[in-house]
Structure 1
Amino acid sequence: MATKLLLSFAICRLIVTVGLTVDPSELLRLGVDGQLSVDPFDIETASLDFGLISRSEPMAVLHPGSADDIARLVQAAYLSSQGFTVSARGHGHSINGQAQTNNGVVIEMSGGSRGSRLGLGNLAKQQVAVKEMHVDVWGGELWIDVLRRTLEHGLAPKSWTDYLYLSVGGTLSNGGISGQAFNHGPQISNVYELDVVTGKGELMTCSEEKNSKLFHAVLGGLGQFGIITRARIALEPAPQRVRWIRVLYSNFSTFTGDQEYLISMHGKPSTLKFDYVEGFVIVDEGLINNWRSSFFSPRNPVKISSVGANGGVLYCLEITKNYDESTGDTIDQEVEALMKNLNFIPSTVFTTDLPYTDFLDRVHRAELKLRAKGLWEVPHPWLNLFVPRSRIADLDRGVFKGILGNNKTSGPILIYPMNKNKWDQRSSVVTPDEDVFYLVALLRSALDNGEETQSLEYLTDQNGKILRFCDDAGIKVKQYLPHYTTREEWMDHFGDKWDRFYQRKMEFDPRRILATGQRIFNPSSGSTSTVSPW
């Protein structure tokens, strides 16, 4: 108790010193079980994210000991006479300051290094219900830990992201996609129930049957309606091994035709489809050897010039088939049957077999290599787009073969299709209005290596050119992990979902105190009555 009082006193002094508008007594009354910190290390950590493009210092950081701690903090903000904001931060993998806040408190949902030292991890709170095939997890839990826990029961979540060191609440607030989304849908389509702290500080349980409006609002809601403190995730029997295959194409329409053929098989028996379908664009020789393409063996190199790339661009189809050791004797025949209708370059088939967990955690191994070279903690001017199927060829001509040209790239360019019917339109996510749409993700890093085409300024400008090209060409893309700065841009992004999005905001976070780093609504000050959000 003495430590808590001293810490609260320190926070009060800090608030007075920097001239913030919050009444210090409001934070003194919180009485949290975790830790409310103004440690410079915590403040610095919460000021930055994976993008390293935006910086915003909070006045304090909360390491919660329970969902009640979060509810107390948000309620204090909601009832504050002068107002402060609250942002939830998972693994800090945002790219444009979405989890940051000024004049507010950041909640470190995943603990971070300080939370870990204090023993505030929530892994022990996971409950795996084998009979009902679900797992209850803390909102700040990382997916890698969810995987490890469920595998103890021979189970695993159905839908993933490519990178597992992300928080459950973070991906569910955006969508959560990977190569399984064509079949199982995004992660937000595989949730049974949530516990959420709304912008009023109310801790509510919601699902399809209970508080369904809040349930659908929060899923893909960019953190605007509440903070996810618990999620009930659907599970399935976990396979033991994965046959991982990559093949190359030089013709774009052939490449996308095969991708669309593969995802059209999702309604057929499991033996008649692949379990994962992705792909990426290779716009220069160097990309073949980068971290996302390390699959190719140095002893068996592939040269763009040797396979007749059209316009200097190659396309890689990446597919997997899950299996168990007991069925390992049939995997060759199953894969052969699935691939016989594909039209890839015959000499470019690369396969490997590995444990299921190793495949799911493949990007983390690449991360460790980049960290060793000092190439991980650099700015990441990523651009993620959902592109209508009918216009994907135009994007190829204008962007892959046009704007990107033959410049050296510093990160992968992913491209793969998804089925819209696997996305619940009641959620807050917006997707193109076609039955099939593509993710195009330019996951590039800004490197300080003297090459202009890999600088932050150049890549940011190039992202702007890509968006302007889409706008001028009438390609109605939607940003995934969206980032806009004006009300008009956000209204255009949500389209006919805007009115519903706005109404939900006014109902669940009327003072607009949550997730202000998204820059959708301006926080209010004064009374708790509804005022203009702009």
Structure 2
Amino acid sequence: MLSLKKHYENGNGIRVSTLGHYVDVGGLQLWIDVLNATLEHDLAPVSGIDYLFLTLCGTLSNAGISGQTFLYGPQISNVLEMDVVTGNGDFLTCYKDSNSELFYAVLGGLGQFGIITRARIVLTKAPKRVKWVRMLYSDFSIFSRDQEHLISIKGLEFLEGSLIMDYSPANNWRFSFFTPYNESQISPLLKKHGILYYLDMVKYYEDEAINSVNKEVEKLPEELNYIPGFAFMKDPNYVDFPNRVQTGEITLKLKGLWDVPHPWLNLFVPKSHIMDFNDGVFVDTIHRQKITKGPILVYPTTKIKWDDRMFAVTPNEDIFYCVRLLHSSSFDDWQYLDNQNNAILEFCNRAGIKMKQYLPHYKSKEDWIKHFGSKWNTFKERKAQFDPRKILSSEQKNFNSV
């Protein structure tokens, strides 16, 4: 993608429209550069991702999810138009109402129909500050119920949940939220329960709204059932919040622990089976084996914010959970984590949990048919239309038999 850089007149391929509240971005651009360019105009992308050192083309080819997805939908739901080079070699501009078949195919299409060379992304006014509250739970059912409550009300801009295991530190590599004193408070709880869950809720605000936002945030926990006394708060500048994960990356690089295998597993789990998933995966597999190394995220989002005409696939329920096992391993033990991931997938199959993989990788046509479900026939039609010689399949070899 970097070879496209020479084709941009202004050198960076990022053009912000303050009147239209959108930004035109070259497909090779990193989201961190998009954010920095829009912040110069006090604007920011409506829907973000947790790790900003990914390309626009890459995330839009999948979905682009974060703790904002429940409110604004994934990144692919906030695209106005695109320039695409198809597998046929055609260079086309597409919108919802013009070349719409290509527009909906490319968004979430795993790079199988064309390469996004430019996208127009929706922007919103960037806030100045972030009220960030983290609350601890020992009961998963209460934890999930409170998360579902929070995404049903107005006023929050971000919600994610995570796990802490008694064999791992309270802070993980993504960022350090807890102070050493906080960790000493949490340690006895971990010894007692084995697993703790926490949710991160975030509210954006302007400097002049500090008093009103404090009252709102103080009132919200009254509706929740976290462990009394275990609510923690931070109040960073907005510019520091979207890029919070980079600090963890820099630390790992300094320790030589970044360029190692990362056998991640990302799933969308239907709400109706999230309790089964907790019992069978978090408790009976991950905690029992005690080999997981890295953050485990689990948070709900709503299907209504996803456009079903796109090829990103979600469970067929109004609410589903994003579950993200973000492992880091050494070159000697990655196979253990990979085996654990396979065991988790096998458990879901046995338990009848109709989850969907996010960032999927399958080796058989039958698995892809199962993954896309009712979208499979349309997928085949678009593949024949935009990449009939399967030029975009050659590296992955996943769709050579489509």
TM-score (norm 2): 0.96
The question of whether the paired residues in 2 share the 8 Å contact of 1:137 and 1:232 is answered with: yes
Asked if 1:427 corresponds to 2:305, the answer is no
Shift of 1:241: 0.7
Counterpart contact for 1:279–1:315, Cα < 8 Å: yes
Of residues 287, 292, 296 in structure 2, which corresponds to 1:413?
A: 296
Cα distance in 2 between the residues matched to 1:321 and 1:473: 37
Partner of 2:354: 476
CA contact (8 A) 2:175 2:248 kept: no
Q: Tell whether 2:102 aligns with 1:214.
A: yes
2:76 corresponds to 1:188: yes
Aligned residues of 2:268 and 2:357 also touching (Cα < 8 A):
yes
1:446 corresponds to which residue? 329
Query: Per-residue displacement from partner, 1:176-234 (whole Å, max 9, x unpaired)?
Result: 00000000000000000000000011110001111011000000000000000000000
Partner of 1:63: 3
- Offset, 1:329: 2.4
Is 2:339 aligned against 1:456?
no
Deviation string 1:473-500 (CA, Å, 9 cap, x unpaired) is: 0001100000110111111100111000
- Work out which of the residue numbers 138, 146, 159 in structure 1 matches 2:34: 146
One-letter amino acid matched to 2:361: H
For 1:427, give the aligned amino acid. M
Q: For residues 261 and 220 of structure 1, what CA distance do their matches in structure 2 show?
A: 28
CA distance in 1, matches of 2:11, 2:358: 29
Residue 130 of structure 1 deviates from its aligned partner by 1.0
User: Measured at CA, do residues 502 and 287 of structure 1 come closer, stay the same or move farther in structure 2, by a change above 3 Å?
Assistant: farther
Q: Give the SS at the match of 1:416.
A: strand
Displacement of 1:402 in angstroms is 0.4
Moved beyond 4 Å, runs of 4+ = 120-123, 302-305, 308-311
Residue 201 (structure 2) pairs with residue 261 (structure 1): no
**The residue matched to 1:292 in structure 2 has which SS?**
coil
Structure 2 residue 196 is matched with structure 1 residue 314:
yes
Matches within 5 A, 1:179-328: 179-265=67-153, 268=154, 273-292=155-174, 294-302=176-184, 306-307=188-189, 312-328=194-210
Q: CA deviation at 1:294?
A: 1.6
The question of whether the paired residues in 1 share the 8 Å contact of 2:5 and 2:13 is answered with no
- Contact 2:174/2:244, CA 8 A, preserved across alignment: no
Higher RCO (C-alpha under 8 Å, 6+ residues apart): 2
1:5-24 matched pairs, under 5 angstroms: none
Which residue is equivalent to 1:495? Answer: 373
Structure-2 residue corresponding to 1:91: none
Tell me, yes or no, if the aligned pair for 1:199 and 1:226 is still in contact at 8 Å.
yes
* TM-score normalised per structure 1: 0.72
Query: What secondary structure, in the 3-state scheme, does the structure 2 residue paired with 1:236 have?
Result: strand
Could you say which residue in structure 2 is the equivalent of 1:513? 391
User: What is the DSSP-based 3-state SS (H/G/I as helix, E as strand, rest coil) of the residue aligned with 1:501?
Assistant: helix
Deviation, structure 1 residue 326:
1.6
Residue 414 of structure 1 aligns to which amino acid in structure 2? L
Q: How many Å apart are 1:287 and its aligned residue?
A: 3.4
- Give secondary structure in 2 for the equivalent of 1:286: coil
Name structure 2 gaps, 5 residues minimum: none
Shift of 1:328: 1.6
The alignment partner of 1:205 has SS state of strand
Aligned 8 A contact 1:386 1:432 in 2: yes
- Cα distance between partner residues in 2 of 1:149 and 1:405: 42
Matched, 1:329 2:211: yes
2:67 partner SS: coil
How has the CA–CA distance of structure 1 residues 375 and 511 changed in structure 2, closer, same or farther, with 3 Å as cutoff? same
**Are the equivalent residues in 2 in contact too, given 1:222–1:518 (CA < 8 A)?**
no
**Paired position in structure 2 for 1:10:** none
Distance 1:223 1:131, change over 3 A: same
Per-residue deviation, 1:303 = 5.7
Please say if residues 270 and 317 of structure 2, whose CA atoms lie closer than 8 Å, have aligned partners that are also in contact. yes
**Partner in structure 2 of residue 78 of structure 1:** none
SS at match of 1:397: helix
Residues 343-365 of structure 1, C-alpha deviation per residue, up to 9 Å, x if partnerless? 11122111111111101000011
Q: Which runs of 5+ in 1 are unaligned?
A: 1-60, 68-119, 523-532
Deviation, 1:121, is: 10
Partner of 1:28: none
Identity of aligned residues (%): 53
Structure 2 distance, partners of 1:180, 1:289, is 22
Aligned ranges 1:164-175 → 2 under 5 Å: 164-175=52-63
What's the CA shift for 1:123?
5.2
CA distance in 2, matches of 1:380, 1:241: 33
Output the CA distance in 2 between the equivalents of 1:308 and 1:289: 13
The equivalent residue for 1:370 is 252
Matched to 2:127, the amino acid is: P
